[in-house]
Structure 1
Amino acid sequence: MAAQDRLARIRAHLQAIDVAVYVASEASPAASPDPAKLATVLPPAAQAFLAGLANAFRVDVRALHVARLQRQLELDLCSSLEEAHATCVFRNGPYVDGDAWTIDPLPEVLHDRGVDIGDTSPARTDELVAAINSGAQGVQVDMDDGHCPSWKNVIHGHWNLLHAARGTLPGITHSSPALLLPRPRAWNMDEEHVLVHGHAVPGALFDFGLHMFHSAAHLIATGRGPFFYLPKLESAAEAALWARVFAYTEATLGLPVHSIKAIVLIEHILAAFEMDAILYELRHYSAGLNCGMWDYTASILSKFRSFPAASLPDRQAYVSMQTPFLAHYMRLLLATCARRRAPATTGMVPFVLEHATPAEAAVMLEKTRAAKSYEANCGSHGALVFDVSLVPIVQEIFAQKSPRVVEAVATPTPRDLLTLPRGHVTMHSVDFNLRVVLAYIEAWGRQDGIVVLDHSVEDSATAEIARSQLWHWIKFEHPLQDTDCVVSISLVHALLAQIAHAYAPATRRLTLHVLQVQRFPTFLTSFLQSQRLLWQ
């Protein structure tokens, strides 16, 4: 960062006035946003609103991070995995107003949850327009897993989003465009280019707040929002924080109460134990829960990082939504939502059919039909896809299964959710995970939040599970099937040497660092941000 930027940060930190917003400039002109778009996205009134939002919840956000650290320390200090598992308990009440509650009725436009387009970064204009025109029910306008939050991308993305909300983004032609459901950054990411009293604004508040400031009134007037996906919550307390953020924002902007609706992504193992309580805290704002796979699975490896038995074998061979620990999680989510009259949706089809051969496309379509039919039969109301060509196929699957009745299921035990499959680690699985991590970090260096490998989209969720598996295998010297070897950093060095020419030096350096660091980085994206990858 330039010297004048450092000085401005210091001045902002020292200022004691109510509003002190500092907007950084980039060292590289290529990474800087368009000045006209910056002025449109962050006018003085928007800066003042963000400052008020950040100030109002600074203590709450700090408490959230402290609670997460304390919970991790509690797990790390356990003497065994069994002792750590014993700390995980379900939260299903009691509730102050009894147990007969349901979420508030949803607006009609949210009744059909058949298909949303996932991982659609607003900075990738062509993809955003294609998703809006796709005929899907909604678009997950993604500032989290599928988005690289460089300053240029952030501003360009919000500029696209505010125009998309008004239907003025060039290229929108569909007579019934898909609903916009932005997914703001998770709480682990800060927007380091905007400071309030010297503190970086949490990315979650920045993305949520800007969209609300610019577009909430228009979306309410047209009956098309504001709707959100909320990522990576770890507890009902975090859901309660979001409810307070929603209430504050509605009051500050003069909006009708409870006009915001949000789908919570249950993509953390600890949140799975509090799904009912999460719905309760957001009952006036809830648009249901979504059940994914890779972020959720990676969170198990992350939380129980200290225990060798928490390693996961070859995920391509041993992990699917029908694997017991994931099947129990999905069925619990579906039953919880059914009980509280909340929509329940399932994960994203990652396949990209473009450039696939007819035979490859046929295999991917069969896998898509099988996976989504299974989920629909279990009671899911819909799912996400990345490739817009899959929209009609997945829509048809869920339309045929409607209406669905979810049978009551016995509450699973903590062991049901926590017991990972046993199996082998192969050289192929090591090589595949390494390629995913390298490709994702390389993409971030290009300011892109996704990369397509082997006709599947890889985002931060799949990069998280890939690097988490590799870190566990290396740390605990997991045996390699059909060899006398174990997974080690020297093995990774040898594999990397074979493909080093395909990746930038910074990519190779950061990959090796994140795989051999003794202290497991909780989030790969936070690690990359801390390494200043986006400032280069």
Structure 2
Amino acid sequence: MSAVMAQPQQSDIEVIAQAPGQADVLTPAALTFLAGLHTRFETARQARLKARRERQAFFDGGGLPDFREDTQAIRAGDWKVAPLPKALLDRRVEITGPVDPKMVINALNSGAKVYMADFEDSTAPTWPNLIAGQRALIAAVRGTLEFTSDAGKHYALRPFAEQAVLMVRPRGWHLDEKHVLVDGAPMSASLFDLGLFAFHNARELAALDRGPYFYLPKLQSMEEAQLWNEVLDHIERELRLPQGQLKVTVLIETLPAVFEMDEILHALRTRIAGLNCGRWDYVFSYIKTFRAHRDKVLPERAQVTMTQPFLKAYSELLIQTCHKRGAHAMGGMAAQIPINGDDDANEAALAKVRADKLREVTAGHDGTWVAHPALIPLAQQIFDERMPTPNQRHVLREDVWVTREDLIKPSLGTITRTGFEGNVEVCVRYLAAWLDGNGCVPIHWLMEDAATAEIARTQLWQWLHSDGLFLDDGTPVDFALLERAFLNLPARLGDRSGIPGGSRINEAIGVLDRLTHADELEDFLTLPAYARLD
């Protein structure tokens, strides 16, 4: 089952963009290191992407995901992952966000146990953003990162002992980094993000007993996990680090992956710290996997909550699987942000967060995610009260019994006009901001990122391409309804000057219009949109 690797050879690497400070990051030695990653692993990456396409074709033909027969021995085996490092034993509250200097400082100073610096869903991968993010993290690891806003406010890191533990999420296997060419071909965005960070920071973090630690996104199979394991083995050899020094947590945020959680843990067993319920991408993946299945159409996003049976089954199976193997089972994101000036609305939002975090800790999760620092005290309090130990891996959830049908049965609900038009607005506003270089956008007091925009986008496509769907008021769900939503959008938005990416709203409408009319569902919104960046 080992991934196929190309034989190492001398490769030409070329950077075809410029950004402030990039010479400090893309040194000759760093570029040689990146070229080596591409040469060794690009063939294997393309093989894994081909396998994804073949698997999706099976689903489009009416096939259903299931637990694998050829790996039954792994699921039945009595094995555990390697012991966890001290810095990752208590992860009860983690904060995530983009990698700009101000965010990095605020997140590390936030009081959360972990900060996931995100090159993926909450960062628009413009070349300046990527270089600035790598520079910020290099300085943060060395304790020298500072930032002064245009208004003159100064930001600096607290002492190391008071900082959150740093984890880094690279972009997914499906994405290229078009600004870096190896032998004329774009290199993997995953290998660029993770490789460049490791090259500059792995030894420093190892000396601090802080990893380095990574979150790995959007895996769909154990073979993809094996590929990551081979990449990390290679990096450790090249940087002369002990085997297993680089630790990872894998996001279970695709429907195929939920059927291979044991296998993913096993493939990464010398270095994996846990699995995470990436709930928004998971809902997106459910829609995409079943895009051709008329009986699997989901209701509007607001009704697809973690209390729905198929999501409850996913969460509880993840907890049971992780704890059986000695790994952490991390909960999902609270996307709410404070509602200033409306105490009643703010309290209602906090009540939703409180209920969600109480559900997670009661179910057995070892920690949770928040998108805004103001939610950290609330999440911390709930986990402190219900989880006095650093984690609850001792909660084995032997009462859980989950079948394939439990994981694929859709939730019941409706599509309202508000829900339909809300999907259009979120997708257009997020895409406009993303095209303008902002990958994390507050919309109606929720922090939207690429994952939530993808739910909106794929739901619109599926609804519009499923005959016979109606809103709850009897209105047909068709392209005339979409056109009216586009026409009504300017009135919903009002003054665009205060909206992130407001000048690119019309461009975003055009992109969404083309994507929703297309006969085939585009795999990821960011693939066609990436061509428009820079």
TM-score (norm 1): 0.90
Structure 2: distance between partners of 1:419 and 1:212: 41
1:146 aligned residue: 122
1:462 aligns with 2:452: yes
Alignment check: 8 A CA contact 1:234 1:270 kept:
yes
2:508 aligned residue: 507
Deviation for aligned residue 1:93: 4.0
Number of aligned residues: 501
1:387 aligned residue: 372
Deviation for aligned residue 1:476: 0.9
Alignment check: 8 A CA contact 1:75 1:304 kept:
yes
Deviation for aligned residue 1:133: 0.2
Task: Give the residue type in structure 1 aligned to 2:287.
Answer: L
Deviation for aligned residue 1:163: 1.0
**How far does the alpha carbon of each residue in 1:151-195 deviate from its partner, in whole angstroms, 9 at most, with x for none?**
111111111111111111111125511111000000111100001
Alignment check: 8 A CA contact 2:75 2:262 kept:
no
Deviation for aligned residue 1:478: 4.9
1:172 aligns with 2:148: no
Structure 1: distance between partners of 2:355 and 2:373: 18
Structure 2: distance between partners of 1:454 and 1:144: 22
Alignment check: 8 A CA contact 2:13 2:181 kept:
yes
Structure 1: distance between partners of 2:468 and 2:342: 36
Paired residue secondary structure (1:182): strand
Task: Give the residue type in structure 2 aligned to 1:455.
Answer: W
- Does the C-alpha gap of structure 1 residues 102 and 323 become closer, same or farther in structure 2, counting only changes over 3 Å? same
**How far does the alpha carbon of each residue in 1:311-335 deviate from its partner, in whole angstroms, 9 at most, with x for none?**
111221x211111000000000000
Alignment check: 8 A CA contact 1:184 1:208 kept:
yes
Calculate percent identity across the aligned residue pairs.
36
Structure 2: distance between partners of 1:128 and 1:192: 25
Alignment check: 8 A CA contact 2:313 2:407 kept:
yes
2:149 aligned residue: none
| Gap runs ≥5 in structure 2 | 1-7, 147-155, 497-501
Identify the match of residue 130 of structure 1 among 85, 88, 106.
106
1:235 aligned residue: 221
1:224 aligned residue: 210
**How far does the alpha carbon of each residue in 1:220-271 deviate from its partner, in whole angstroms, 9 at most, with x for none?**
0011120000000001111111110110110011111100110000000000
Identify the match of residue 121 of structure 1 among 90, 98, 122.
98
Alignment check: 8 A CA contact 1:440 1:459 kept:
yes
Structure 2: distance between partners of 1:188 and 1:436: 23
- Superposition pairs for residues 413-432 of structure 1, below 5 Å? 413-432=403-422
Structure 2: distance between partners of 1:492 and 1:97: 45
Alignment check: 8 A CA contact 2:454 2:524 kept:
yes
- Does the C-alpha gap of structure 1 residues 21 and 332 become closer, same or farther in structure 2, counting only changes over 3 Å? same
| Gap runs ≥5 in structure 1 | 1-15, 26-31, 79-83
Structure 2: distance between partners of 1:48 and 1:298: 37
- Superposition pairs for residues 2-401 of structure 1, below 5 Å? 18-25=10-17, 32-34=18-20, 37-78=21-62, 84-85=63-64, 87-90=65-68, 93-95=71-73, 99-118=77-96, 120-122=97-99, 124-170=100-146, 171-174=156-159, 175-316=161-302, 318-353=303-338, 355=340, 357-401=342-386
Moved more, 305-314 or 231-240: 305-314
Alignment check: 8 A CA contact 2:336 2:349 kept:
yes
Paired residue secondary structure (1:301): helix
Deviation for aligned residue 1:89: 2.3
1:453 aligned residue: 443
Moved more, 427-436 or 164-173: 164-173
Structure 1: distance between partners of 2:139 and 2:420: 43
Alignment RMSD? 1.8
Paired residue secondary structure (2:42): helix
Structure 1: distance between partners of 2:378 and 2:484: 43
Paired residue secondary structure (1:19): coil
- Does the C-alpha gap of structure 1 residues 77 and 510 become closer, same or farther in structure 2, counting only changes over 3 Å? same
**How far does the alpha carbon of each residue in 1:447-496 deviate from its partner, in whole angstroms, 9 at most, with x for none?**
01011111110001100111111111111145333434211222111111
1:13 aligned residue: none
Structure 2: distance between partners of 1:428 and 1:443: 22
TM-score (norm 2): 0.91
Alignment check: 8 A CA contact 1:91 1:273 kept:
no
Alignment check: 8 A CA contact 2:272 2:327 kept:
yes
Moved more, 163-172 or 180-189: 163-172
Structure 2: distance between partners of 1:97 and 1:408: 15
